[in-house]
Amino acid sequence: MKFRKVDGGVTAAKGFTAAGLYCGIKKKEKKDLALIYSEVPAVAAGMFTQNRFQAAPVKITRDHLADYNAQAIICNSGNANACSGEQGAQDAHRMTELTAQLLQLQPEDVVVASTGVIGQNLPMDKIEAGIRSIAGQLTPTGGQDAAEAIITTDLTLKVTAYSLEIGGKTVTVGGMAKGSGMIHPNMATMLGFVTTDCAISGKLLQQALAYTVERSYNLITVDGDTSTNDMVVVLANGVADNTSITAESEDYHRFLMLLQRVNSELSQKIVRDGEGATKFLELTVKHAASFADGKTLARGVLSSNLVKTAFFGEDANWGRIVSAMGQTDVEFYPERVDVFLGDLQVTAYGQGLVFDEEKAKEILQQKDIRITVDLHMGDENVTAWGADLSYDYVKINASYRS
């Protein structure tokens, strides 16, 4: 499939505008309020954190997307509005109401998200003033500002967009994400906002989102912790004018691959910006009996502190990889397992091989490392992404809240 990389992030697709500004939540003058707007009504879909402690905006956005319709996304950084009680719920509602009023929408068509410190109430005077201001600043090139306004301790912006011909029309999917950082109080939030001008039904959009999130964001791990605020939302406004996708057709498949491309890239950008990460680990489980098995094994290995520290130390420690696999609940045959670092096989039939230590060293000194585990069982190949565990990870996360 011929994907074309395009600029603009969440404003790359036709009919979307965005803005980002500083409204006073963060201590330093860094952008902390983002708005994304579709000029025409859009269908929408969302995926949310599985954490039992769910922040107020997560609950409200979930309700708002029940009808698969949304036209705007308002998001602040610097305060997660999580563990914030009844006041927190009122504040999140107020953000959708004010945004809707200024854009002449229904509050139910506004998505709200927050990221940052947990356990504190939002400074609503500043946020209300910010919303009044940002509603007048929407532009078709505002994707960059919006991306800046949702980050917290991220070191890099996570923005991407691709186009693909679908049903004879150019369809674009663009997105932005944030994630990896926390330092101040509490927890990393992973946010992803994706826009597309594809014409597609809400139900199929949700299905496509669920499929691709499972194969992108849900296959990355930085430290194994799931935030209270995680959220990925996609808006599809149909401005590309393709024949609307309403069944699992060839067009649907093409859209799925396009959305997958964007979500894969955004999620990998999060791992590369993982706290303290010095290595980008791409682990493929080959010949798993099922996708679920492959996913559990791949994430299990990439979540193991012993595996992560070994890669930080550039140590060809395959024993930790097989042990991390063995402690998952996945059924497989240890005596069939092959392990490769890059192209170098280090384990055959579950036993260590005598391998070229110089070659291993060369592979492990790279910033990007491919690991392959072959189960020789079924037909599923699953790739997941993770980071190593470094002194800096400990340093960043041991910091005092103040």
Which residue type sits at 50?
Q
Nearest to 272 by CA among 116, 160, 374: 160
Taking CB under 8 A as the criterion, the residue among 162, 193, 217, 393 binding a copy of itself is 393
Judged by CB under 8 A, which stretch of 204-212, 248-256, 281-289, 350-358 contacts a copy of itself? 350-358
223 belongs to the binding site for a copy of itself (CB under 8 A): yes
Q: How far is the CB of 325 from a copy of itself (least distance, A)?
A: 7
State how far the Cα of 174 lies from the Cα of 264, in Å rounded to an integer. Answer: 12
Q: Which stretch binds a copy of itself (CB under 8 A): 101-109, 162-170, 218-226, 252-260?
A: 218-226
Q: Is 119 an interacting residue with respect to a copy of itself (CB under 8 A)?
A: yes
CB of residue 293 to a copy of itself, shortest distance in Å: 12
Determine if 344 is a binding residue for a copy of itself (CB under 8 A).
no
Q: Is there a contact between 376 and 324 (Cβ–Cβ < 8 Å)?
A: no
Known active-site residue 189: yes
Residue 243 near a copy of itself by CB under 8 A? no
The reply to whether 299 sits near a copy of itself by the rule CB under 8 A is no
Q: Which is nearer to a copy of itself, 16 or 332 (CB)?
A: 332
Which residue number, 177 or 182, has a Cβ lying nearer to a copy of itself? 182
Nearer to a copy of itself, 243 or 313 (CB): 313
Q: Amino acid identity of 241?
A: D
Are 229 and 191 in contact by the 8 Å Cβ rule? The answer is yes
The pairing of strands 16-21 and 169-178 is: unpaired
d(Cα 6, Cα 163) in Å, to the nearest integer? 7
Query: Least distance from C-beta 306 to a copy of itself, angstroms?
Result: 5
- Asked whether 49 and 227 are in contact (CB, 8 A), the reply is yes
First to last CA, the chain: 50
Q: Taking CB under 8 A as the rule, does residue 324 contact a copy of itself?
A: yes
Please, are residues 118 and 187 in contact by the beta-carbon 8 Å criterion? Answer: yes
Is the Cβ of residue 61 or residue 228 nearer to a copy of itself in the bound state?
228
Please, what is the minimum distance in Å from the beta carbon of residue 9 to a copy of itself? 28
Contact call for residues 353 and 345 (beta carbons, < 8 A)? yes
61, 99, 172, 189: the active-site residue: 189
Chain-centre distance for alpha carbon 249: 26
- Give least dist CB 331 to a copy of itself, A: 8
| DSSP per-residue letters across 132-189 | HHHTT--BTTTHHHHHHHT-SS-SS-EEEEEEEEETTEEEEEEEEEE-S---SSS---
Q: Is 53 in the site for a copy of itself (CB under 8 A)?
A: yes
Q: What is the CA radius of gyration of the chain?
A: 22
Q: Which residues are catalytic?
A: 189
Residues that bind a copy of itself (CB under 8 A): 50-54, 82-85, 118-120, 182, 185-187, 223-228, 303-306, 309-310, 312-320, 322-328, 330-332, 334, 347, 349-352, 389-391, 393-395, 397-401
